[in-house]
Amino acid sequence: MTYTFTQSKALFQRAAKVIPQGIYGHFNPATTVPGFYPYFISRAKGCRFWDVDGNEYIDYACAYGPMILGYAHDRIDEAFARQARNGTATMPPSTLLVDLAEKMVEVNDCADWAVFAKNGADAISWAVALARGYRKRDKIVLAHGAYHGTQPWAGTNHIGVLPADRADVLMAPWGDANAFRRVVEENKNRIAGALFTPYHHPVFEPQALPAPGFWRDMRRICDENDIVLIIDDVRAGWRLDIKGSAHYFGFRPDLACYCKAIANGYPISALVGTDRMRMVAAKAFQTGSYWNNSPEMAAALACIDEMQKIDAAAICDSRGGELRRGLEERAAAHGLSFRMSGPNAIPFLHFTNESNFKRAQLFCRECSLRGVYFFWHHNMFLSAAHTEADIQKTIDVADQAFQIVKDQFGE
Ligand code: PMP
């Protein structure tokens, strides 16, 4: 079957008339290989989606992370729908608020309490406010290249950001505890919080796992200097470990932010914290119109239970391991320098002999034209719905794409 994108392109032209950019943010076609990828989908089930031209894909974007158990998952969707029939946004909240907070405390290693919002950025902004309120200091340390959302202080946007928005943000390289210590010493008693991802997953770059002792050192520096350690586990949360990525890497943050994999695609995020952060959390006024909606909470409870029951993190790791081995072996057989960096469940693909992504784009384009949805600019995601047969099919498609890269680039 030849993949064409006539309907996608026509729809995009309609979209561009009424929506700035047609599709905005990280869902914009510019993040793929425009012209060779679908712009709009019509349906998704399991680890597959079908675009508006009828093309079928094995999906490794997983909606940038929320899909962990498979699209249109019967159990999660039924939990959501059942609760929706009982009302969605109510005042006072439903009993599910308590059930879900109890579940978060039970599941998460570092949690004595939990609160809920909608997006990752909501939970992270809440955490930063709590760190400042707790320490009564201004400064926050972030890592170069880390993504924490589009809040002005997070440094991702360039439009509409004032110098004042970034005035209290200090930067340090990810993974270098000595460099972090130097930033802390240069700003003695002025840093409220350190906000880091559990491992480094920048865009346009290979990923980096923490070196042995890194998190132990970071924890110690924070403790010695009364700095609140905040973990942004929005992207990696629960794909590595149902107890949270901090547990996976063997340390305890003071605050942890979750979002994407909580409810298999239904909109909910969470901030969890330790007892010492409880008082300041009790004083802070943070809220949103839909933050206490009950159907998302029902979906989250079902999703967490299902993830525990099937050990979703272990499945993602195992399938991701098969994918990594298969792709690296096939690439090597073609004489190509190719590597998957980061955890098995959240890999980033790159050709190690290029920095302009030309090979990666051609590779992804040829995979897309054969029904495998890969990314070149951003890490990808495995889900518990990917089967061994899906991975095998993906490796066979990748083999053909590697051949095309070889023919065009020679190495
Ligand atoms: N932190 C990380 C690590 C993320 O990957 C994201 C989303 N890609 C965010 C924060 C922001 O989450 P949201 O887009 O839901 O606000």
Indicate the domain borders of the chain.
6-64+312-409, 74-309
Helix axes 312-333, 388-409, angle to 10 degrees: 30
Question: Ligand 1: which residue has its CA nearest to atom 5?
Answer: 235
Question: Ligand 1: which residue has its CA nearest to atom 13?
Answer: 120
235 lines ligand 1 (CB under 6 A): yes
Question: Tell me, what's the pLDDT at 338?
Answer: 98
What is the whole-number distance in angstroms between the Cα of residue 409 and the centre of ligand 1? 35
Question: Tell me, what's the pLDDT at 1?
Answer: 75
Ligand 1: atom nearest CA of 64 is: 8
153 lines ligand 1 (CB under 6 A): no
Question: Tell me, what's the pLDDT at 52?
Answer: 98
Contact, 186 vs 129, CB < 8 A?
A: no
119 lines ligand 1 (CB under 6 A): yes
Question: Tell me, what's the pLDDT at 184?
Answer: 98
Helix axes 294-310, 74-84, angle to 10 degrees: 160
259 lines ligand 1 (CB under 6 A): yes
Quick one: 57 exposed, middle or buried, by C-beta within 10 A (0-12, 13-18, 19+)? buried
232 lines ligand 1 (CB under 6 A): yes
Ligand 1: atom nearest CA of 26 is: 8
202 lines ligand 1 (CB under 6 A): no
Question: Tell me, what's the pLDDT at 185?
Answer: 98
148 lines ligand 1 (CB under 6 A): yes
β-pairing, 191-196 vs 139-143, is parallel
What is the whole-number distance in angstroms between the Cα of residue 323 and the centre of ligand 1? 25
Supply the CATH classification number for the domain 74-309: 3.40.640.10
Supply the CATH classification number for the domain 6-64+312-409: 3.90.1150.10
Ligand 1: atom nearest CA of 233 is: 3
Question: Tell me, what's the pLDDT at 157?
Answer: 76
Name the helix (H) or strand (E) containing 181.
helix 177-186
Top mutation candidate among 118, 259, 260 for ligand 1, by most atoms within 8 Å of CB: 259
What is the whole-number distance in angstroms between the Cα of residue 195 and the centre of ligand 1? 13
156 lines ligand 1 (CB under 6 A): no
344 lines ligand 1 (CB under 6 A): no
Ligand 1: atom nearest CA of 146 is: 3
Q: Return the HEC string of 244-271.
A: CHHHHHCCCCCEEEECCCCCCCCCCEEE
Question: Tell me, what's the pLDDT at 219?
Answer: 98
Question: Helix or strand or coil: residue 186?
Answer: helix
- Other Cβ atoms closer than 10 A to 328: 15
234 lines ligand 1 (CB under 6 A): yes
121 lines ligand 1 (CB under 6 A): yes
187 lines ligand 1 (CB under 6 A): no
What is the whole-number distance in angstroms between the Cα of residue 376 and the centre of ligand 1? 18
β-pairing, 56-59 vs 372-373, is parallel
319 lines ligand 1 (CB under 6 A): no
Question: Tell me, what's the pLDDT at 156?
Answer: 78
Q: Along the chain (411 residues), what's the average pLDDT of each consecutive run of 10 residues?
A: 94 97 94 96 98 98 98 98 96 97 95 98 98 98 96 87 95 98 98 98 97 98 98 97 97 98 98 98 97 98 98 98 98 98 98 98 98 97 98 98 98 93
260 lines ligand 1 (CB under 6 A): no
Question: Tell me, what's the pLDDT at 109?
Answer: 84
